[in-house]
């Protein structure tokens, strides 16, 4: 759905730098999900957030990755000390309610780690 906005669309980082990916959900949606897609692979769930709360982070690596969805502003996925294996497309999706509602995807951020 065109309503989910992500920026930047492309991000290049050198190993050891930090990457910040932003996601603005569809207006009125209070549930945000982050997924990662490695080259030539499917999408894998990372984290599910509501405003000011992390609901499920079972798919997120334990180290270097964090996510937030503040009361005001976009959701942020932060990757510290990036490594080459972090190169992927990161998609954000949003839905209006939690249970079995359609998730609309943003255009993704393609992260390249040199």
Partner 1 sequence: GENVEQHPSTLSVQEGDSAVIKCTYSDSASNYFPWYKQELGKRPQLIIDIRSNVGEKKDQRIAVTLNKTAKHFSLHITETQPEDSAVYFCAAIGAAGNKLTFGGGTRVLVKP
Q: Which positions touch partner 1 (CB under 8 A)?
A: 1, 31, 33, 35, 41-45, 48, 55-56, 58-59, 91, 93, 98-100, 102-108
For partner 1, which is the closer residue by CB, 28 or 42? 42
For partner 1, which is the closer residue by CB, 17 or 45? 45
CA 103-105-106 angle, 5° bins:
150
Q: How far is 70 from 16, CA to CA, in rounded Å?
A: 26
**Minimum CB separation from partner 1 for residue 4, in Å?**
8
Q: What are 93's two structure tokens? A: 């999706």
Residue 85 has phi, psi (to 5 degrees) of -70, -10
For partner 1, which is the closer residue by CB, 48 or 69? 48
Q: Check if the beta carbon of residue 5 is closer than 8 Å to that of residue 106.
A: yes
For partner 1, which is the closer residue by CB, 48 or 82? 48
Q: What is the C-alpha radius of gyration for the chain, rounded to an integer number of angstroms?
A: 13
**Minimum CB separation from partner 1 for residue 16, in Å?**
27
**Minimum CB separation from partner 1 for residue 95, in Å?**
9
* Cα-to-chain-centroid distance, residue 30: 15
**Minimum CB separation from partner 1 for residue 86, in Å?**
19
């Amino acid at each position: 759905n065109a309503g989910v906005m992500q920026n930047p669309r492309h991000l290049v980082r050198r190993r050891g730098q930090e990457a910040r990916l932003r996601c603005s959900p569809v207006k009125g949606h209070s549930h945000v999900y982050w997924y990662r897609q490695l080259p030539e692979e499917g999408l894998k769930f990372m984290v599910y957030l509501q405003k000011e709360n992390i609901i499920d982070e079972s798919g997120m690596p334990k180290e270097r990755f964090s996510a937030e969805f503040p009361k005001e502003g976009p959701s942020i996925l932060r990757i510290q000390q990036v490594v080459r294996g972090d190169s992927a497309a990161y998609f954000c999706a949003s839905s209006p309610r939690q249970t079995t509602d359609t998730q609309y995807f943003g255009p993704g951020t393609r992260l390249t780690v040199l």
